[in-house]
Amino acid sequence: MSDFREALLEVSENDSDSKIESEAKSLATNELGDFKFLVAIVIWYEILFAINTVSKLLQSSDMLIDFAMEKIKGLISFFEEYRETSFKNALNYATEIALELNIDPVFSQKRKIQRKRQFDENLSTASVELSEEESFRVNYFLYLVDQAVVSLKTRFEQYQQYENVFGFLFSSQNLQLLDDATLNSCCSNLEERLTHNEQFDVVGKELCVELRLLRNMLPGGKMRPIDILNFLKVASAERSFSKLKLLKSYLRSTMLQERLNGLALIAIENNLLDDIQYEDLIHEFASKNAARMSRFK
């Protein structure tokens, strides 16, 4: 801090621009020369340091949302404790800096404006005058920390809502710990949350069946959602190659690509064939050509 102040004084003495010279001198003498300003710098440093540490963790590529919730919850606890215990510590640290800068470590007194008291005003209801230090603690320090806590709690509530809906999909460990009844309840809740105007993207019962099969396929260890997706892609590719060996044998070596793709898709997704209405397919195929349609009739 002392080096920074000396740099500002040097700029104020040597810079040819009068505006820059004036601003540098003002910062060095008025701002950095004010003990209240030094205390504010210490408070801001401690707050931003804690936030930046958690922010870097949340931005990492391997971050899991449940781990992010734990970090935010820990940050809220830090600020709640910081609110109660750290103002005196900030004063002591700012006092050390002030002594190095030859600044008097006291809060400057503001000129008090005397207000005329009305004849019917009760003395007990008159506003209590706080000392400069206590006023700074109440109106600056507590206000700043409370705003940080409120903001973090709002963010935590958002993450909590995500966990209530998607929490069972956050990691393979969460999925493995659920019994069948709880898993079915989570899938039904997800279907309900993703339903709008009787339109839905997820069928809870079908998702539950697929997840129960997936639990038996997943390897050990905690896997992130992206790891599970990559695992499924690899497993699908292996399945495709195993079907390919059955379809394109030595006796079918001259099969063209289009037919091979169609047969492979039918073989891999054969469970979907049970729900297909072949008459609808015939009608759709025939409707694309008038001549075929007349023959079909």
Share of the chain above pLDDT 70, in %: 74
| Position with higher pLDDT, 8 vs 94 | 94
Decide if 49 is inside a domain. yes
Residue 238 has pLDDT above 70, yes or no: no
The whole-angstrom separation of Cα 141 and Cα 268 is 64
Decide if 171 is inside a domain. no
Decide if 204 is inside a domain. no
Residue 44 has pLDDT above 70, yes or no: yes
The whole-angstrom separation of Cα 217 and Cα 69 is 28
Q: pLDDT tier at 82 (50, 70, 90 boundaries)?
A: very high
Measured CA angle at 132 (ends 129, 133), to 5 deg: 120
Q: pLDDT tier at 125 (50, 70, 90 boundaries)?
A: very low
Residue 141 has pLDDT above 90, yes or no: yes
CA 260 to chain centre: 45
Decide if 188 is inside a domain. no
Residues 25/9, Cβ–Cβ less than 8 Å: yes
Domain limits at 63? Answer: 33-108+131-165
In tens, the pLDDT along 195-229 reads 888 777 788 888 888 888 777 777 777 777 777 77
Helix (H) or strand (E) holding 177: helix 172-177
Residue 180 has pLDDT above 50, yes or no: yes
Residue 126 has pLDDT above 50, yes or no: no
pLDDT for position 161? 80
Decide if 216 is inside a domain. no
- Going by the DSSP 8-state scheme, the letter that residue 170 receives in this structure is S
Decide if 291 is inside a domain. no
- The number of distinct structural domains making up the chain is 1
Q: pLDDT tier at 250 (50, 70, 90 boundaries)?
A: low
Share of the chain above pLDDT 90, in %: 13
**Mean pLDDT value across residues 129-156:** 88
**Mean pLDDT value across residues 69-91:** 90
Q: pLDDT tier at 81 (50, 70, 90 boundaries)?
A: very high
pTM of the model: 0.57
pLDDT for position 116? 61
Identity of the amino acid at 232? L
The whole-angstrom separation of Cα 110 and Cα 255 is 92
Question: Among the ranges 28-32, 114-118, 154-158, which has the highest mean pLDDT value?
Answer: 154-158
Residue 79 has pLDDT above 90, yes or no: yes
Decide if 42 is inside a domain. yes
Residue 32 has pLDDT above 90, yes or no: no
Decide if 149 is inside a domain. yes
**Mean pLDDT value across residues 147-155:** 88
Identity of the amino acid at 96? E
